[in-house]
Amino acid sequence: MSTNYYLPEDQAPLPPKHAEVLTTCCDYCIVACAYKVYRWPIGSGNGGTKANENAFGIEFPSSPLEDWVAPAQHNVVMHKGIPHNVVITPNKEAITVNTNGDSSMRGGLIAQKCYNPKTPTRDRLTTPLVRMFGTLQPVPWDFALEIAAEVAKHVIAKHGANAYSMKTFSYQYIENTYAVTKFALRHINTASFTFHDTPSDVTSTPGFRDAGFDNFGPSYDDWASAETLMCCGTDPYETKTILFTQHIMKGIQAGMKVIMLNPRETAGVTYVKKMGGLHLDLYPGTDTVLLGAIARIVVENGWEDKEWLENWVNNKWESDSGFGQGTRNTPWQWRTTWGKFQTKGFDDYKKWVLSQPEYELEAAAELTGVDATKIKQAAEWIAKPKEDGTRVKASFGIEKGFYWSNNTGNTNAISSLATICGAGGREGRVVGRFGGHQRGGRRGGGLPRNKSPEKVPGRRRRALDTDRWLVSGHTRFAHVVGTTWIQSMSGSQGLQQKFQELVVNNPNQVRSYDKQEIIDSLKARADSGGMVVINQDIYLRNPIGAQFADIVFPAATWGEEDFMRANGERRLRLYQKFYDAPGDAKPDWWIIAQLAKKMGFDGFDWQNSNDVAEESSRFSRGGRKAYHMIKVYAHKHGHTLHEQLRLLGADGIQGPTFINDKGELKGTKRLHNTEMNPEMVKERYGENGPGAANMVNKKMTHFNSQTGKVNLQKHPWSLFSDFWTWLKPKEEELWFSNGRINEVWQSGFDDVQRRPYITQRWPENFLELHPDDAKKRGIESGDYVMMYSDRVAAHKDTILGVGGDDFQFSKLMENGHIELSKAAVTAVAIVTPHIKKGVMYAMFIDMRQPTNALSARVVDNISGNYNYKMGVAKVKKLGESQYKKEFRSMSFAPRNIA
Amino acid sequence: MTTNKESAVEHKKCMLNRREFLLYSGASAAAVSTVTLFSGTAQAREARVVAYPRKLITRLSELQDNIPVDFKYPDDGKNSECMLVKMGGVEAGGGIGPQKDIVAFSYLCTHQGGPLQSTYKVTDDQRTLGQCPFHLSVYDLRRHGIIVSGQAYQSLPQVMLELDGDNIYAAGLMGLLFGRNQNLMEA
């Protein structure tokens, strides 16, 4: 752990001519910028300032935008047991992602991620741990694995596969996610499975899926080629920096107007405004109403794209044609609650939008808190035809600030608005997610949804909610891979209390040195209604590892193994191993393989990560980042899949991949490419179309719907308004939202906890408060404040829905399924006009002050996702923090200084 | 400027004093030495002895509130553009003068060397440099040039100042200047 006592260094070594150069990409945000690792042995001589004396081949001092080594970009690591210098800097040769060799602060400092016992990374897990007599004690791999395997087998045999709950990252490299899902879904076959960011294994953007949009269809340069870009629920500058600085910013400089939907005005929003853009500063959870009002203005004025609607949107008969499985009883019907979303085409949609009182301009302005003239302006910018009658090219991008509040309603609304404006798969008119973490998922098995005991009214099984399953006492064995489980979920303090009760407060604790007795104690705990926890991670996380895990497996990560992954434009690259993992830490695929073998499963005899990648490739076919053809191409040329990706270098290749009739490997710039002409088809697939192992499906040239055209859907506010109205601030409460902050990635295990400079910037969680709200409460910047609530709602029961509205919030409340509990989180106040009045904002998972404690543990009643970005809390001053009067750390300057 | 003050021995004394000052300025000042405080941690290190020149920049009596003065430091070579500003009575970490409001910083963004000239801003009681025209980084001049928002790899290098009568001297640097591998490079 680092502290905020930090002295800047004033020198850095330059890599010498003899440094080895390896390519990799940043480990953090979706964009995955290309980096170079320069590695040379300690004592072999550093580079000089003359061009012929250093590995960059340039003169120092270097000029702006040229290579440079900041002190924090240097580290010392072990490579094959010998200490080496490494310098990790953005790859100036990158021509696609981080053009100009740009970098974010997070990636720019990634050299600090490497394990070095002289730095705050010294507490990396280096050996397996088993909790005995209340202490996690180092043990050999076999000892830990055998205990885990015996207890796991027992739990599955006695309590069923669903008693084995797997909570795992969805993104931390293709090799690992394939191994984890093969183990949990194919072999254990548990329905109690989900990823790090959702309680159940469901789609993140239900509206996109039902409309037919892939989340990641566009290329990064597409986001710069619109005339108007609407960004919903994110400032890309803060959370996917290079997409903004190298792509969107260039578009803005060339005249693209940007509309931002966000209750905060951060640096990117400020820049957009300065360049003539629009900021729609709405209250949390009101996006559906705002977009509904905009859609209403569009159709009232007849500004819809008639040609697009005619050619690419389902009419009455097409809407009703199901997924080729008959018109009824399809997943779409189950999700859409029997007609609440389905339309008979545009005219039906228009009639519906005009009939919704919430979407009348004045009503919407009142509810969303956005000025009516700005709403009108937005509608004009995205849809009003120009004087010569031609259309504005508008693109639409969303991220979690948007889709994690009214998940289904918001994503339906944006899909429909984009569609009536003519956006889809064409240049300058794209629809997609901007993205959060990188795309490293590859499933090695399917979720056995029919084994889920959850059922929603009128529909079939819904993916099991692992939090509710655990809270109701059905989880006997929790296997947690690379996530905190608790702080990253919602209503998290209540969830933590349940872990405590099931694990620590259970009388069956390990009080023995004998392996069999240890196994027996843990089996007895599971049998008595308690829970056993195993955890794979790179650091001992609190509380999941430090307080709850019975067994901890040390994982190897970025730079410590060859891994592959894609970014938010489906671009696949190899992340090369360049140094030794600390101690006995092993990659997650290896840990899973050993556990699987000890449990008696076959198919886990991989020798290295390339073996895993090659086995997984055939399951990628048909997917957005299909990489199977890279393997086919590699084998044809005598390479492995990983070697081929390494040869593809900094720019990699965009999935899905193909081999054309000339034997050339081809990628895919854009999905749903409705503008593909015969020449482009020939170039990609060859004279006679796709052959051999190439697999081409609808999403390449059409949309992911039953017909290949877009489903235009309704987005009723009424399905959500009971919850929103119940939640909205009462008396002294304020809205509370949370999210990422530019300087910190994800839960901060690297940066905010182990990078002194970032620790200095953000030593604790903060709370942004509008000056008017602060003044009323006597709060100033630098004060310690407490956010607290006595009405954090939690849905506590696993139930079967029978009546149509059984999962509606008001009905759950009426039927006693909602429990209200208290939560409290402290923070350092930042009083700033860049947050909307009436709204507060903090970082989403600071481990010491986890703010998801204040959001409801109640899922979206259609999709099953949490609405993390919406909470309410009271706030009061506790006293002054040390940061108020000293000048060393934090900053109370607003983020909207242009 | 005297030859005595430019000597390394004299300078080291001066550096440590200033480092302590920078570290403990403000409410949490404590009478312990740097080495004791950080011993056994990654941050434990002796202040490096570098012979920064002592250079006359301007005079206190000539400074106008919130009007930056440009100068070059530590030499006249590449990437030495700096600014000094009296921040209108707003106290800052490392600030000198009766109101501790005079500070000086490098003009080169520590992200990719973008020019921060003409970006000095007064926002209520905050004082900042930025947005950088390249990638929008903003720095907090009250807090040793720490990043407010942006992509920088470190705080903006702060020029250490000394007030001698009415004369203001630059006498050292905290942090590495963009483009250099050490602040004092051989010509």
Q: At what angle do helices A346-354 and A287-300 cross, to 10 degrees?
A: 110
Q: Where are the alpha helices (DSSP H) in A369-472?
A: 372-383, 400-403, 407-420, 466-471
Amino acid identity for residue A664 in this structure: E
Cβ–Cβ under 8 Å, residues B92 and A887: yes
Token look-up 């970082």 returns: A843
Question: Residue A642: which of A613, A620, A606 has the closest Cα?
Answer: A613
Identify the sign of the CA torsion A351, A353, A358, A364: negative
* pLDDT number for residue A399: 97
Lookup: tokens for A25: 């990409």
For residues A322-346, one letter each, b for 16 or more C-beta atoms within 10 angstroms of the residue's C-beta and e for the rest, the string is beeeeeeebebbbbbbeebbbbbbb
Look at chain A and count its residues.
898
* Alpha-carbon gap: B172 to the closest alpha carbon of chain A (Å): 11
Class of domain B52-174: mainly beta
- Sheet of B69-72: strand order equals B55-59, B167-174, B158-164, B102-106, B81-86, B69-72
B30 — pLDDT class (breaks 50, 70, 90): very low
- Catalytic annotation on B144? no
> Which residues of B are less than 8 Å from A60 in CB distance?
179-181, 185
Question: Residue B72: which of B59, B56, B96 has the closest Cα?
Answer: B56
Question: Residue B66: which of B147, B159, B128 has the closest Cα?
Answer: B128
Nearest to B153 among A2, A70, A118 (CB): A70
Count CB atoms within 10 A of the CB of residue A445.
Answer: 18
C-alpha distances out from residue A890 to A293, A308, A587, A763, B38, Å: 40, 50, 36, 7, 20
pLDDT tens, residue by residue, B61-100? 999 999 999 999 999 999 999 999 999 999 999 999 999 9
> Which residues of B are less than 8 Å from A888 in CB distance?
23, 25-26, 28, 93, 143-144
Question: How many helices, marked H, and strands, marked E, lie in chain A?
Answer: 30, 27
Alpha-carbon distance A132 to A83, whole Å? Answer: 35
* pLDDT number for residue A322: 57
| Residues ≥6 apart with Cβ < 8 Å to A135 | none
* Residue-range domain boundaries for chain A: 20-113, 129-163+179-203+444-574, 217-433, 719-884
For residue A457, cis peptide bond before it (omega within 30 degrees of 0): no
Residue of B nearest to A15 (CA): B181
- Catalytic annotation on B11? no
* pLDDT number for residue A687: 85
Compute the C-alpha angle A574/A576/A580, nearest 5°. 155
Cβ–Cβ under 8 Å, residues B185 and A49: yes
Is any Cβ of chain A less than 8 angstroms from the Cβ of B176?
yes
Q: CATH number of A129-163+179-203+444-574: 3.40.50.740, 3.40.1530.20, 3.30.420.40, 3.40.50.150?
A: 3.40.50.740
> Which residues of A are less than 8 Å from B176 in CB distance?
8-12, 70-71
The CATH number assigned to the domain with range A20-113 reads: 2.60.40.4210
Lookup: tokens for A786: 């407490």
Cβ–Cβ under 8 Å, residues A245 and B136: yes
pLDDT at B19 over 50: no
Cβ–Cβ under 8 Å, residues A896 and A266: yes
Which residues does chain A have with pLDDT short of 50? 324-327
Rg over alpha carbons for chain A, rounded to the nearest Å, is 27
Question: Residue A642: which of A607, A690, A666, A603 has the closest Cα?
Answer: A607
* pLDDT number for residue B41: 40
* pLDDT number for residue B12: 44
For β-strands A571-575 and A563-566, DSSP reports them as antiparallel
| Residues ≥6 apart with Cβ < 8 Å to A726 | A809, A810, A813
C-alpha distances out from residue A549 to A147, A472, A504, A522, Å: 13, 20, 10, 12
State chain B's maximal CA–CA distance in angstroms.
Answer: 46
Select which of B100, B135, B143, B180 is catalytic: B135
Q: Where are the alpha helices (DSSP H) in A281-335?
A: 287-300, 306-312, 316-319, 331-335
Nearest to B27 among A102, A268, A886 (CB): A886
Asked if B134's CB is within 8 angstroms of A897's CB, the reply is: no
Scan residues 99-128 of B and list those with Cβ closer than 8 Å to A. 108, 110-115, 121, 123, 126, 128
> Which residues of B are less than 8 Å from A9 in CB distance?
175-176
| Residues ≥6 apart with Cβ < 8 Å to B13 | none
Alpha-carbon distance A778 to A771, whole Å? Answer: 10
DSSP string over B14-79: HHHHHHHHHHH-STT--S--HHHHHTTSTT--PPP---PPPEEEEEGGG--TT--EEEE-S-SSTT
C-alpha distances out from residue A861 to A406, A455, A459, Å: 9, 11, 12
Lookup: tokens for A379: 């509608």
Compare B23 and A677 and report the one with higher pLDDT.
Answer: A677
Alpha-carbon distance A527 to A801, whole Å? Answer: 29
DSSP string over A367-386: HHT--HHHHHHHHHHHHPPP
* Alpha-carbon gap: A268 to the closest alpha carbon of chain B (Å): 8
Token look-up 């050999």 returns: A140
Asked if A9's CB is within 8 angstroms of B175's CB, the reply is: yes
Amino acid identity for residue A705 in this structure: S
> Which residues of A are less than 8 Å from B111 in CB distance?
103, 105, 108
Alpha-carbon distance A77 to A86, whole Å? Answer: 7
C-alpha distances out from residue A829 to A769, A777, A780, Å: 7, 12, 7
pLDDT at B1 over 80: no
Token look-up 């007064």 returns: B122
Helix (H/G/I), strand (E/B), else coil: A155: helix
Lookup: tokens for B62: 């000539």
Q: At what angle do helices A141-159 and A588-598 cross, to 10 degrees?
A: 60
Class of domain A217-433: alpha beta
Alpha-carbon distance A440 to A848, whole Å? Answer: 28
Question: Residue A69: which of A84, A82, A83, A55 has the closest Cα?
Answer: A55
> Which residues of B are less than 8 Å from A102 in CB distance?
112, 135
Q: Dihedral of the CA atoms A374, A379, A380, A383 (nearest 10)?
A: 160
Alpha-carbon distance B154 to A7, whole Å? Answer: 10
- Mean pLDDT of the region B5-17: 43
Cβ–Cβ under 8 Å, residues A201 and A217: no
Q: Which of A28, A29, A56, A105 should be substituted to probe chain B, the one whose Cβ sees the most B Cβ atoms within 10 Å?
A: A105
Which architecture does CATH list for A719-884?
Beta Barrel (2.40)
Strand partners, A546: none
Q: Which of B112, B140, B156, B186 should be substituted to probe chain A, the one whose Cβ sees the most A Cβ atoms within 10 Å?
A: B112
What is the model's pTM? 0.94
Nearest to B43 among A5, A12, A889 (CB): A5
Helix (H/G/I), strand (E/B), else coil: A867: coil
Lookup: tokens for A896: 């909207």
Alpha-carbon distance A555 to A591, whole Å? Answer: 8
Token look-up 């008959």 returns: A326
- Mean pLDDT of the region B105-130: 97
Nearest to B43 among A7, A60, A897 (CB): A7
B9 — pLDDT class (breaks 50, 70, 90): very low
Token look-up 């000890």 returns: A598
Nearest to A68 among B92, B148, B178 (CB): B178
Is any Cβ of chain A less than 8 angstroms from the Cβ of B132?
no
Alpha-carbon distance B61 to A859, whole Å? Answer: 65
* pLDDT number for residue A4: 72
For residues A645-662, one letter each, b for 16 or more C-beta atoms within 10 angstroms of the residue's C-beta and e for the rest, the string is bbebebbbbbbbbbbbee
For β-strands A129-132 and A74-79, DSSP reports them as unpaired
pLDDT at B31 over 80: no
Helix (H/G/I), strand (E/B), else coil: A668: coil
> Which residues of A are less than 8 Å from B154 in CB distance?
8, 70-72, 757
